[in-house]
């Protein structure tokens, strides 16, 4: 399987590291032999149809900050030039999230789909803005569009939903989908003010310097769009989601909730009729009442009730594992076809 990687930050590098560490295991367990034929970052690309020397690429990236400097295979080349200069089966899209127009990921994914490549994206932006369209194009071109790493980090949420739905029907999806806001709410429960909890989250590396996407509920909304499309079959994009963040929550609100055996969590809710993100008061015994940076997704099934999966939110390695899982699915599909 020939792979192109677009975007070579924490996740892209974690993925390459995982690929190197588990080369033998992946070959033995899944017959999967992965050749990375191109890696593109913001300054250029490293390209080799015979497969890049991954150790060398990692070393150059660390040393010079770009793969364009890899001896004899690195160029000041655009993504478009790179993808046209190699033969590949899969694009791994791992550039940054842009909720205005989804670029550059949107162009990467569209180009790859048009060229008949399968796509694995860990970038939520293009999906949040245009998932119904992207799914249709992938279907039309008869290629896979995979995105396990966009929701719940390493948690196999989407596969879990598919399995739950066998012989049953998912009627509602609820999720605590953002570790940053959940950490802040958990600490506010302990008595901290919003600003104190935010600073603590930033110090611990759980919140970014500009935490707007998290606090505003937009990150949760992006993930919810993906769940609504994939699990419920809703054709929705970001503009269909009513979004309310956690900026107005006060420690007193959490105190009142706590004294009543309840708590407040920022929850994304998707049903057939509506999709919204909002801080909700829930029972402390509710499986969604997870603490700190945990994520949780609850599926309500017609026959078998509420099922929840819980785990730590995304980290580089967890998300990289999700990419591997998607590649294995694509491999299995390639064999079947």
Q: Does 284 interact with a second copy (rule: CB under 8 A)?
A: yes
Return the residue of 99, 240, 253, 292 that touches a second copy, per CB under 8 A: 292
Q: Does 312 interact with a second copy (rule: CB under 8 A)?
A: yes
Whichever of 76 and 332 has its CB closer to a second copy, that residue is: 332
Whichever of 66 and 121 has its CB closer to a second copy, that residue is: 121
What six digits make up the tokens of 248? 């107005």
Return the residue of 114, 304, 333, 334 that touches a second copy, per CB under 8 A: 304
Residue 286 DSSP code:
S
Tell me the residue ranges of DSSP E strands in 64-105: 74-75, 90-93
Span 3-62, contacts to a second copy by CB under 8 A = 18, 22, 26, 29-30
Whichever of 25 and 64 has its CB closer to a second copy, that residue is: 25
Contact between residue 256 and residue 187 where contact means Cβ atoms under 8 Å apart: no
Name the nearest CA neighbour of 107 among 126, 124, 92.
126
Q: Does 119 interact with a second copy (rule: CB under 8 A)?
A: no
- 69 assigned to active site: no
Q: What does the per-residue mask of binding to a second copy show for 152-191, with x meaning CB under 8 A?
A: -xxxx--xx--xx-xxx-----------------x-----
DSSP line for 207-219? S-SS-HHHHTTHH
Q: Which of 61, 124, 146, 223 is catalytic?
A: 223
Helix runs in 165-281, H state only: 179-189, 194-203, 212-215, 218-227, 251-259
Contact between residue 269 and residue 174 where contact means Cβ atoms under 8 Å apart: yes
Tell me the C-alpha distance between 94 and 110, whole Å.
Answer: 14
Return the residue of 71, 205, 233, 305 that touches a second copy, per CB under 8 A: 305
Tell me the C-alpha distance between 93 and 8, whole Å.
Answer: 9
Query: CA of 321: how far to CAs of 76, 104, 136, 159, 223, in Å?
Result: 30, 23, 26, 14, 18
Span 75-94, contacts to a second copy by CB under 8 A = none
Least Å distance, CB 119 to a second copy, is: 18
Whichever of 125 and 311 has its CB closer to a second copy, that residue is: 311
Task: Cite the active site residues.
Answer: 223
- Point out which residues bind a second copy (CB under 8 A): 18, 22, 26, 29-30, 153-156, 159-160, 163-164, 166-168, 186, 284-285, 287, 290-292, 294, 301, 303-312, 317-318, 320-322, 324-325, 327-329
């Amino acid at each position: 399987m020939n792979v192109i990687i677009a975007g070579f930050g924490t996740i892209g590098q974690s993925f390459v590291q995982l690929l190197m560490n588990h080369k033998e295991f992946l070959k033995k367990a899944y017959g999967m032999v992965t050749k990375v034929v191109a890696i593109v970052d913001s300054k250029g690309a490293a390209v080799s149809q015979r497969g890049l020397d991954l150790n060398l690429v990692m070393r150059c990236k660390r040393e010079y900050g770009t793969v364009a400097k890899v001896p004899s295979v690195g160029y000041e080349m655009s993504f478009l030039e790179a993808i046209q200069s190699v033969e590949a089966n899969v694009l791994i899209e791992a550039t940054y999230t842009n909720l205005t127009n989804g670029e550059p990921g949107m162009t990467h994914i569209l180009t790859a789909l048009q060229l008949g490549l399968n796509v694995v994206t860990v970038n939520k932006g293009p999906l949040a803005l245009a998932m119904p369209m992207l799914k249709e194009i992938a279907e039309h071109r008869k290629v896979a569009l995979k995105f396990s790493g966009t929701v719940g980090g390493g948690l196999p949420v989407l596969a879990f939903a598919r399995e739950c739905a066998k012989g049953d029907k998912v009627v509602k999806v609820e999720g605590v989908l953002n570790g940053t806001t959940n950490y802040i709410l958990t600490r506010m429960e302990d008595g901290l003010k919003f600003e104190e909890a935010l600073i603590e989250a930033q110090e611990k590396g759980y919140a970014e310097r500009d935490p707007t996407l998290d606090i505003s509920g937009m990150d949760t909304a992006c993930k919810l769009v993906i769940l609504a499309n994939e699990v419920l079959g809703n054709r929705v994009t970001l503009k269909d989601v009513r979004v309310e963040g956690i900026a107005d929550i006060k420690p007193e609100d959490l105190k009142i909730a706590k004294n009543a055996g309840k708590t407040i969590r920022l929850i994304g809710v998707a049903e057939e009729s509506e999709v919204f993100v909002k801080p909700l008061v829930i029972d402390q015994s509710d499986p969604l009442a997870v603490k700190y940076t945990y994520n949780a997704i609850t599926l309500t099934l017609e026959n078998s009730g509420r099922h929840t999966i819980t785990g730590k939110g995304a980290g580089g390695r967890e998300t990289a594992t999700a990419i591997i899982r998607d590649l294995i699915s694509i491999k299995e599909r390639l064999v079947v076809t």
